[in-house]
Amino acid sequence: MDIELTLELFDRQMRREVEPAERDALTTLALGDGWSGVVWSRLDESNADAAVTKLVARLLEFDGHAEWKLYGYDRPDDLAQRLVAAGLEPQDQEAVVVAELCELDLDASLPVGVEVRVAGDAEAVEVWVEVNELVFGESYSGVGRLLLRALGHERPRDLGVVAYAGGEPVSAGRIEFNERSEFASLWGGGTLAEWRGRGIYRATVLERARLAQERGYRFLQVDALPTSQPILERLGFVQLTTTRPYVPSRTSPAPASEMTSK
């Protein structure tokens, strides 16, 4: 993988040009379903404070989760300190890792007794929600509603997958198909504690990779916490940079990154 070129594509397609969004010459504020965030900026010492003041006020207007997604190469160098001074709180740092789908071994066998299925109807989405709530200990009803709405379209923008072991649901994850982009993204994977360490999370990653390949995507992208980054890198993912969300103190939880619990 040409890391410099891939990072350039990622910066443009997944940050600057995302839709729906509010944008100007210096920033992009992405607007999602129960989620909003500043995902791109091109600031310097002369304009950073004004942009931060304006956008933090804007984030406070939204219901649901709101954040400023700061990437490792964003400028100015003290932008993180400016965000904190404006009242935002840093969350866990994540590694932005990317794989070219053509380089992944998508024919790898599943662990014995494990099956991964797409959550393709209301009943399956309910199972997806239940697994995530057991794993992460918080409500996933909002993401469940997002998945249900997506199923109403011929080509859903979001899909959940559930891994079953011995017929019982034990792990779940989500894939987002980013329109007008060469990147699909993985979110919110988790495995019940007693089933971890058996390759099941890996199986959910590969199933989602197959879904992305079927749609013609070139890249698979993940904001990975330290619990998942080593597994992803063994599969062939490469780190491009880091990202850290900065959130208003009153913000609601975001859908889990990939991953807090495997």
In the chain, % helix, strand, coil (3-state, to 5) comes to 35, 30, 35
Q: Is 253 part of a structural domain of the chain?
A: no
Statement: the pTM of the whole predicted model exceeds 0.75: yes
Domain count along the chain: 2
Residue 163 bridge partners (DSSP): 116, 171
pLDDT exceeds 90 at position 251: no
232 shares its domain with 110 = yes
130 shares its domain with 195 = yes
Q: Which domain holds residue 152?
A: 99-241
Q: Is 127 part of a structural domain of the chain?
A: yes
73 shares its domain with 104 = no
Q: Is 249 part of a structural domain of the chain?
A: no
Q: Is 252 part of a structural domain of the chain?
A: no
pLDDT in tens, 87-130: 999 999 999 999 999 999 999 899 999 999 999 999 999 999 99
228 shares its domain with 144 = yes
132 shares its domain with 59 = no
